[in-house]
Amino acid sequence: MQEKKLNIVLVEPQIPQNTGNIARTCAATGARLHLVGPMGFQIDDKKLKRAGLDYWHLLDISYYDGLDDFFEKNQGEFYYFTTKGQHRYSDVSYPEDGYIVFGREDAGLPEALLFAHPDRCVRLPMIEGARSLNLSNTVAIAVYEALRQRDFQGLKTKGQLTKFQWEEE
């Protein structure tokens, strides 16, 4: 049986640094990254690699030609992050192998997709007039909320000092 992983889906990402930062978040947390094209950059873009280079070997990543290709190859529960969502991201129980989907930085997800799944559209609360948070910040918040809900299972939760030692609790 295949290990259940949180799935992060970027639909048509346009900014390589955002995707590199998101790749680093996925690598550090064990989440699987799905990149749905067309993208606004090449995967060998040095800005992308600089943001996530140290972690690229830890990354579980899949590529798709478009949304149709992605949905043909993946099944499960999908949650769509959008500023147009009617539900708070923290009110959702994300399944272990669920998909958290994000749209392109300049346009978001297609409204027809959102309209077809109103109960699966979630947002981060913000003040009136704020357009959105940076995509890589939003993904990090979503990933850590989903992982928090399962008590960060499989992740190292305590660190060590290099020159001192913590007292045992």
- The pLDDT confidence band at residue 1, using thresholds 50, 70 and 90, is very low
Q: Taking 70 as the threshold, does the pLDDT of residue 50 lie above it?
A: no
Give the Cα separation of 25 and 10 in Å (integer).
13
The residue-averaged pLDDT of 41-61 equals 72
Q: Taking 80 as the threshold, does the pLDDT of residue 52 lie above it?
A: no
Question: Percentage of the chain surpassing pLDDT 90?
Answer: 79
Token representation of residue 90? 């923290």
Strand-pair partners of 99: 7, 78
Q: Which fold has domain 7-149?
A: Alpha/beta knot (3.40.1280)
The residue assigned the tokens 């590529």 is 63
- H or E element in which residue 121 lies: strand 121-123
Instruction: Convert the pLDDT of each residue in 86-145 to its tens digit.
Output: 999 999 999 989 999 999 999 999 999 999 999 999 999 999 999 999 999 999 999 999
132 is in an annotated binding site: yes
Instruction: Convert the pLDDT of each residue in 11-34 to its tens digit.
Output: 999 998 899 899 999 999 999 999
